[in-house]
């Protein structure tokens, strides 16, 4: 993965955002937090923990993906970034680009804090019809300004929505002189606008997180917003504040359904932060769920704040932040902290009376796949050592496994120090699980270690799993992506052994190991 040199980033970043008269670049608004975070010491470097095909910044803090938009053959990823410290601080919009979703180039910082506040999460659109008047095909960012001094006054009006635009495909940005375009009515958590063009309403629709619910707004021009409706005050999980929503259509058996993503912190199924979703209908004004069954995009500990790329047509590509607020500030990586998930294609599948969202790795992952090795008709009872039967483990690989009759099993990765990462299935509980209680470093947080389950939603006896590994992460896609789990692990030395265990006995029809190369073919 190519990385822009940090010094070059710092130098180039001065020209990346052109403030206007109303939004001058005022570092003074961030003095307290900036001084603290800038003094944070940078731990010794951990190159062994650097992912290859998951995006991570060259240095310093990163959280939510923002402004994801596709244009002229390039995927743009903006992200919550604090360029002066290893922990969360005054937020900027970092920027990275990719032609293929697996090889990323970090770009100069796009948006800096200003007199209206820090730059919190949001989205970006391509205004092909120049509805905002910034220019045809302008790339327009819609984001939350977070006013820290106003928050200290406890007025509940410290978050509001603003615009910035780029006329050179995201290279330089200018903030709109009329910011904010959507003032705060007095809601303390009023943020994370996800905007898209709605063909039914023939207007822009904003999906906004407003404390314990979602509020929908519409606009003809991205500048003047009208409230449409609210959703979710008494539906879904409410263990914490609602954040980072997304609304988009998907088709199943010729019928269009709408999917509403909502991230929540805390309140996830295995503790801390996670992303729930609803499937239903949206008429351009109101979202109506089909059922109220609790559903999660990812049952693992480490997939949060995920949204989809805009301007990709019917294809919906999801990306999440690969961490958890319970320990995101403490994970043992340096000089960067945190990474994104692998991009995932989303679709719908019906099981019984319920419609579920499925996630699968984007097909572009195949670009970095080397020749795989497949083992057929494996009998596992009580265990099968795979060392010597497949190539030596590397930090980046894909493992696919299929069986006609799913039984208890455990896939165990280990090293000479006795550290183990276990991915398996518990038939009695009908749950997949990831157990990282002995996987390596964990002293940085008492919330990290543990065995984390996820329900098996498929009802067929046959099962298939795809596992993606990249340095310190595993992403599990079971049963065509009906059950998805993402988790981090930090072994003190590389895993070198791999075995399958099954006390009840398991026949594996096919197991394919594929090394994933950092260099795109």
Residues marked active site are found at 64
Q: Which of 412, 388, 366, 400 is nearest to 513 (CA)?
A: 400
Which two structure tokens, joined as six digits, stand for 446?
């008492």
Could you give phi then psi for residue 363, rounded to 5 degrees?
-60, -20
Per-position b or e across 30-61, b if 16+ CB within 10 A of its CB: beebbeebeebeeeeebeebbbbbbbbbbbbb
Give the residues across from 512 on adjacent strands: 374, 400
Q: Are 491 and 419 in contact (CB under 8 A)?
A: yes
How far apart, in Å, are the Cα atoms of 499 and each of 44, 475, 495? 33, 18, 12
Give the integer Cα–Cα distance in Å for 155 and 171.
36
Q: What is the DSSP string of 25-66?
A: --GGGGHHHHHHHHTSPPPPP-GGG--SSS---SSEEEEEEE
The contacts of residue 19 (CB under 8 Å, 6+ apart) are: 25, 112, 114, 174, 175
The C-alpha atoms of residue 461 and residue 453 are separated, in whole angstroms, by 19
Instruction: Kindly report whether the peptide bond that precedes residue 108 is cis, defined as omega within 30 degrees of 0.
Output: no
191 and 221 Cβ atoms separated by less than 8 Å: no
Q: Which residues contact 324 (CB under 8 A, 6 or more apart)?
A: 268, 271, 272, 273, 301, 302, 304, 447
Query: Can you tell me the distance from the alpha carbon of 96 to that of 4, in angstroms, rounded to the nearest whole number?
Result: 10
CA dihedral 388, 393, 397, 403 (to 10 degrees): 40
Sheet holding 274-282, edge to edge: 241-252, 255-265, 274-282, 287-289
Question: Which of 198, 192, 163, 199 shows the shortest CA–CA distance to 178?
Answer: 163
Contacting residues for 478 by C-beta, under 8 A, at least 6 apart: 432, 456, 458, 463, 464, 465, 484, 485
Q: How far apart are CA 4 and CA 174, in angstroms?
A: 23
Alpha carbon distances (Å) from 508 to 400, 463, 476: 11, 10, 17
């Amino acid at each position: 993965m190519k990385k822009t040199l940090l010094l070059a980033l710092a130098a180039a970043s001065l020209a990346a955002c052109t403030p206007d008269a109303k939004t001058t670049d005022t570092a003074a608004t961030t003095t307290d937090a900036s001084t603290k975070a800038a003094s944070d010491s940078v731990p010794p470097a951990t190159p062994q923990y650097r992912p290859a095909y998951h995006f991570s910044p060259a240095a310093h803090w990163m959280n939510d993906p923002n402004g994801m938009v596709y244009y002229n053959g390039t995927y743009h990823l903006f992200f919550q970034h604090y360029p002066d410290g290893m922990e969360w601080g005054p937020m900027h919009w970092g920027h990275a680009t990719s032609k293929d979703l697996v090889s990323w180039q970090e770009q100069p910082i796009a948006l800096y804090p200003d007199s209206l506040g820090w730059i919190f999460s949001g989205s970006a659109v391509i205004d092909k019809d120049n509805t905002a008047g910034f220019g045809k095909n302008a790339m327009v960012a819609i984001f939350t300004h977070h006013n820290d001094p106003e928050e200290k006054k406890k007025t509940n009006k410290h978050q509001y929505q603003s615009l910035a635009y780029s006329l050179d495909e995201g290279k330089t940005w200018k903030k709109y002189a009329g910011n904010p375009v959507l003032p705060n009515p007095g809601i303390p958590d009023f943020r994370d606008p996800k905007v898209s063009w709605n063909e039914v309403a023939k207007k822009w629709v904003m999906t906004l997180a407003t404390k314990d619910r979602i509020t929908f707004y519409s606009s003809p021009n991205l500048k003047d917003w009208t409230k449409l409706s609210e959703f979710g005050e008494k539906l879904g999980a409410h263990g914490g504040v609602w954040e980072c929503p997304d609304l988009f259509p998907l088709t199943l058996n010729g019928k269009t359904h709408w999917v509403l993503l909502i991230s929540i912190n805390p309140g996830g199924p295995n503790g801390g932060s996670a992303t729930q979703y609803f499937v239903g209908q949206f008429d351009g004004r109101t979202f109506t769920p089909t059922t109220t069954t609790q559903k999660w995009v990812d049952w693992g500990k480490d997939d949060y704040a995920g949204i989809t790329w805009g301007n990709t047509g019917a294809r919906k590509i999801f990306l999440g932040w690969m961490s958890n607020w319970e320990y995101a500030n403490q994970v043992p990586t340096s000089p960067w902290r945190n990474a994104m998930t692998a991009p995932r294609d989303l679709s719908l599948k019906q099981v019984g009376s319920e419609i579920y969202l499925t996630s699968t790795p984007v097909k572009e992952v195949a670009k970095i796949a080397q020749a795989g090795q497949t083992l057929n008709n494996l009998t596992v009872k009580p265990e099968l050592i795979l060392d010597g039967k497949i190539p030596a483990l590397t930090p980046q690989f894909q493992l696919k496994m299929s069986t006609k009759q799913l039984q208890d099993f455990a896939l165990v990765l280990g090293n000479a120090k006795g550290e183990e990462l276990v991915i398996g299935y518990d038939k009695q509980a009908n749950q997949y699980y990831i157990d990282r209680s002995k996987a390596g470093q964990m002293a940085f947080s008492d919330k990290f270690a543990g065995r984390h389950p996820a329900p098996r939603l498929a009802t067929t006896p046959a099962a298939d799993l795809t596992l993606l590994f990249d340095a310190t992460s595993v992403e599990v896609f079971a049963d065509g992506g009906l059950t998805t789990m993402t988790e981090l692990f930090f072994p003190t030395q590389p895993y070198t052994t791999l075995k399958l265990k099954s006390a009840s006995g398991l026949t594996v029809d096919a197991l394919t190991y594929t090394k994933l190369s950092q260099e795109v073919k």
